[in-house]
Amino acid sequence: MLYTELLRLWDGAVQRADSQDWEGALSQLQQISEPTSCTLFNTASAHLMLGQLHLALKALDLTIGKDERLAVGFFQRAAVMMQIDRLEEALSDCIWAQKHMRGNTVIDYKQLGLRFKLYSWQVLYNAAAVYCRMGQWEQAREVLLSASQERGEVRGGNIEAALDSVLREEVLAPLLVPDNVVFRPRKQDVEQLQQRDFLGKAKVISSMIPNDDFGGFEPLRLQKPGFYEPKVDGAQDSRYMRMRVPYMARGPHQLTVPGRALVFLFGEEDRDGMATVIYDGQRGLLPMSLLDPADVKTSKGKKQNRVPSGIPLPPGLTPPTRPKAQHSPAARPRVSFSSDTPPPSYSTATHATATRAPPSASDPPPVHGQPSQRPGNIPRETLHSEL
């Protein structure tokens, strides 16, 4: 069983116990498939309030089975044992309760969710009540005297009044955990059961649809060239409509629309025959009987940025063309080279007659009758023929 479900049923049982609805509390506790010692103790308390002693005793047996050192469980079971005349078992439970107090004069169960403090004198008081039912008055008086000698306890006049009753041989009534005291779940755990909205409600900040207040989610849809049709929950058949005849507003939230006007059907038809539409950036009501389906198509070569209903078009899917370069009138004219004109790779300085440099030591000696092979002395005709 999930711990959250256990907490929910446990808290519901405690709330019904606070309102004295013990049958409702018992119904909530019995739905717990894996009870704890705390919830079983509350079940026993509910049976006690309903007068079902044997069922309460069975629930206390299960409580002690879950927690064998729960002193308040032995204390409560001893009181129930006395009411059904199982005195020897009641006295045994008093002894076990005193033992599990581990020498403490008081145990505060507030940390476990039970607003109750169990004092050692209360355990001794119940033991004296058992001796009274057994007719052992002297034993009862000795137990009460030992309880009166303990210090640091809030007893009031209970022990003194009990001693007077024992001297008169009057049977003492057993002490029980108060009726409205039950184990409660931790407040922090119960608060976490409530759903919290950490993100807050979605708010439309910017939308392509006028007066759009839809804050939900919808899957991504491919946009097609043409009119944008918003999609909202409950309006899967939204479409553009055209007014058959003019219509004047006759009530609240109605629109005044001329004839043949293009509107967008935003909602479904209601019981009065009115439908929610968008016209000229406003949302309102129009009679559904005056609307006809309209086939809206854009003409080729003509792009509209906004339709009469106020709904813009999506951006175009065709990218813009690259602009053509425009030449200024003062642009430099092209130069055509003739066969006698050297190519542009040769500048005037390169093609000018070069001055013969003095021969270096690495140059071969010139041969008489042949021209030099240095680049500066190559004839123009030779260059043209090689090119």
Model confidence pLDDT, tens digit, residues 358-368 = 555 555 555 44
pLDDT tens for each residue of 366-381: 544 454 445 445 555 5
pLDDT exceeds 50 at position 307 = no
Q: Please tell me which residue, 231 or 46, carries the higher pLDDT value.
A: 46
- % of the chain exceeding 90 in pLDDT: 38
Q: What was the pLDDT predicted at 330?
A: 56
CATH (one of 1.25.40.10, 2.40.30.10, 2.40.10.10, 3.40.50.300) for 3-189 = 1.25.40.10
pLDDT exceeds 50 at position 351 = no
Verdict on whether the full-model pTM lies above 0.75? no
- Find the range with the poorest average confidence among 46-60, 209-223, 243-257, 328-342: 328-342
- pLDDT category, 321, cuts 50, 70, 90? confident
Q: What was the pLDDT predicted at 212?
A: 59
Distance of alpha carbon 103 from alpha carbon 87, whole angstroms: 24
What is the SS3 assignment for 301?
coil
The full length of the chain comes to: 387
pLDDT exceeds 60 at position 241 = yes
Distance of alpha carbon 296 from alpha carbon 227, whole angstroms: 8
**Residue found by looking up tokens 């900040």 in the block:** 205
pLDDT exceeds 60 at position 294 = yes
pLDDT exceeds 70 at position 230 = no
pLDDT tens for each residue of 94-118: 999 999 999 888 999 999 999 999 9
Q: What is the average per-residue pLDDT within 343-357?
A: 48
Q: What was the pLDDT predicted at 201?
A: 73
CB atoms closer than 10 angstroms to residue 136: 14
Amino acid (one-letter) located at 152: G
Q: What is the average per-residue pLDDT within 123-128?
A: 92
pLDDT exceeds 50 at position 353 = no
Positive/negative CA dihedral, 42, 48, 51, 53: positive
Q: What was the pLDDT predicted at 303?
A: 47
Q: What was the pLDDT predicted at 107?
A: 93
CB atoms closer than 10 angstroms to residue 194: 6
Q: Please tell me which residue, 323 or 249, carries the higher pLDDT value.
A: 249
Beta pairing, strands 117-119 & 239-243:
unpaired
> 96 CB contacts (<8 Å, ≥6 apart)?
71, 74
Q: Which two tokens stand for residue 78?
A: 């001893």
Q: Please tell me which residue, 78 or 179, carries the higher pLDDT value.
A: 78
Bridge-partner residues for 257, per DSSP? Answer: 247
Highest average pLDDT, of 125-129, 335-339, 349-353, comes from: 125-129
pLDDT exceeds 50 at position 226 = no
- pLDDT category, 331, cuts 50, 70, 90? low
Beta pairing, strands 291-293 & 282-287:
unpaired
Amino acid (one-letter) located at 350: T
pLDDT tens for each residue of 242-293: 999 888 888 888 998 988 888 888 777 787 889 888 888 888 899 998 998 8
Q: Which two tokens stand for residue 209?
A: 């649809």
The verdict on domain 207-316 having CATH code 2.30.30.40 is: yes
pLDDT exceeds 90 at position 341 = no
Common-topology check for domains 3-189 and 207-316: no
The domain spans of the chain are 3-189, 207-316
